[in-house]
Amino acid sequence: MTGRRIAIVVAIIGLVIVPYVITEVYYVNIASQILLYAIFALGLNVLVGYAGLVSLGHAGLFGVASYAVAYLLAAGFGHAVAIPAAIGIGLLATAVFAALALRASGISFIMITLALGEIIWGLAYRWISVTHGDNGINVTTRPAPFGLPLSSARGFYDATLIIFLLAVASSAIFVRSPLGAALCGTRDQPRRMNALGFHVWMIRFMAFMFSGLLTSISGILFVYYNEFISPQALALTASAEGLLMVISGGAGTLLGPVVGAALVVIVKNVVSGLRFTVLSPMGFADLVKFVLNGLFQHWNFLLGAIFVAIVVFMPEGLVPGSVRLARAAWRTANRSKSARPAAAAPPAPVAEQKR
C-alpha cells in the first residue's frame, strides 16, 4: 500500500511540474487537453466500466454543458453565473438521458444514448438562432478565479490539473464507496442484486448522474480551452472517441481512462505531425517508415485501427492488459529462477483490480 502511495505522490508531483519541464506552449496545451479529456473519459468510465452500460451519446452531454456556458457568456453573464448554471443544465440533461436510457441495458442502451446524442448534435447543428449552427459560439474570456488568470497556457494547465485531481479523487471515492460496490454488482448480476433488495435502477441512475457531472465539467473546460464551441465537438465521432479512450486504456480501472485519453490526444495532435525521412532505395526499415508516415498523416485511420486491435487482441484495455502481461512475464522469470524446491512460491497475484 505504501508503494502505491509513493507512486501517487510521484505522479502528482510529475503532473505539477509538467509545465516547468516542457515549457513550449504547444505541449503545455496538449497536456491540458489530455487532462480535460481524461475527466471526460473518467466520467464515461463510470458508466462503461463500473455500470456496464455503454453510452454512445456522451458527447451530447458534453455538448449541453459546453453550449450552455458559451451561450450564457455570449448573453453577457459572468463566469460565476455561467459555470454553475452550465453544470446545472448539464445535470438536468443527464437526468433526462438517464431516465430514458435506463429503461434498457445492453445494445438497446447503446442505441438510445446514440439517438439522444444525435438529437443534441442535431439541435446544435440546426437550431441556428440559439447555437449559430456550424459557425459555433465564440467565448472571448477565460475566468480568473481568486485573481489567478487562466489566459496563459500554464495558468490553464494548473486549473485543469486541480480539477482533474479532484475528478480522479472523487471517482476513486465513488468506486470504493458502498454505492460503487453495489454498482459493480448491478453490472455483474443485476437480477441477484435486485433479489437482494438493491434498487438497481436507482443505483444506475446515481452512477449516470455522477458520470454526467464529470462530463459537464469537462465540457465547460473544453469551451474555455478552445474559446469556441461548434457542433463538431458533439458528433457521434466525438462520443466514439470518448469510448475509445475508456476502452483502450481499460474500462473499469481508474488509471485506464487517463492513459486512454493521453493515447487518443497524442495520436490526434502529436503523431499526426510526425514524419520520418525515407531514403529513396527503400530497405525494409524505410518501407516501415514509409507506411508509418502514411498512418501518421491519417490519424483517424490510426485511431480506428487501434480501436479494432485493442478490442480484438486486448479487450481488457492497455492498463490491465499490460499489467497481465507484465505479471505473466514476471511469474515465468521467477519460476525459472526458483527451480530449487525450497524457493518460496511466487506470491499470489494481487486480486484483480477489475471486478
Partner 1 sequence: MTFWLLLTVNSVTFGGLLFLLSAGFSLIFGLMRIPNLTHGSMFMVGAYLGSTFLGGALGFTLDFWAAAIISALEVAVLGALMERLLLRRLAGQQLAQVLVTLGVSFMVADLCLMGWGGDPISVSTPAGLGGFVRVGLAVFPLYRMAVIGIAVVFAIALWLMLERTRLGAMIRAGVDDPQMARVVGIRVSRLFTIVFGLGAGLAGFAGMIGAPILSVYPGLDQDMLPLALVVVILGGTGSLLGSFLGSIVVGFIYNFGQALLPELAYFVLFLPMVLVLVLRPQGLFGGRLL
Binding site for partner 1 (CB under 8 A): 54, 100, 103-104, 106-108, 110-112, 114-116, 118-119, 121-123, 125-129, 235-237, 240, 243-244, 247, 298, 300-301, 303-308, 311-312, 315
| Cα dihedral 269/27/134/55 (nearest 10) | 60
Type of residue numbered 328: A
Which residues, at least 6 apart from 220, have a Cβ–Cβ distance to it below 8 Å? 65, 66, 69, 83, 86, 87
Residue 352 carries which DSSP code? Answer: P
For partner 1, the closer CB: 113 or 211 = 113
Q: How far is the CB of 190 from partner 1 (least distance, A)?
A: 15
Q: How far is the CB of 170 from partner 1 (least distance, A)?
A: 27
Alpha helices in the chain (DSSP H): 2-21, 25-45, 58-74, 79-101, 106-126, 128-131, 153-176, 178-188, 190-195, 200-226, 236-249, 255-269, 284-297, 299-313, 318-337
From CA 25, how far away is CA 32, in angstroms rounded?
A: 10
For partner 1, the closer CB: 82 or 246 = 246
State whether residue 138 is helix, strand or coil: strand
Q: How far is the CB of 296 from partner 1 (least distance, A)?
A: 12
Q: How far is the CB of 207 from partner 1 (least distance, A)?
A: 18
For partner 1, the closer CB: 146 or 313 = 313
Q: How far is the CB of 113 from partner 1 (least distance, A)?
A: 10
Q: How far is the CB of 180 from partner 1 (least distance, A)?
A: 21
For partner 1, the closer CB: 18 or 184 = 184
Q: How far is the CB of 260 from partner 1 (least distance, A)?
A: 13
Q: Which of 225, 213, 211, 236 minimizes the C-alpha distance to 269?
A: 225
For partner 1, the closer CB: 11 or 236 = 236
Q: Which of 100, 303, 117 minimizes the C-alpha distance to 215?
A: 117
Type of residue numbered 214: L
Question: By the 8 A CB rule, do 163 and 220 touch?
Answer: no
From CA 225, how far away is CA 313, in angstroms rounded?
A: 35
From CA 333, how far away is CA 330, in angstroms rounded?
A: 5
Residue 251 carries which DSSP code? Answer: T
**C-alpha cell at position 246:** 475508456
For partner 1, the closer CB: 31 or 68 = 68
From CA 57, how far away is CA 245, in angstroms rounded?
A: 14
For partner 1, the closer CB: 119 or 181 = 119
Q: How far is the CB of 137 from partner 1 (least distance, A)?
A: 16
For partner 1, the closer CB: 74 or 314 = 314
Q: How far is the CB of 22 from partner 1 (least distance, A)?
A: 29
For partner 1, the closer CB: 74 or 236 = 236
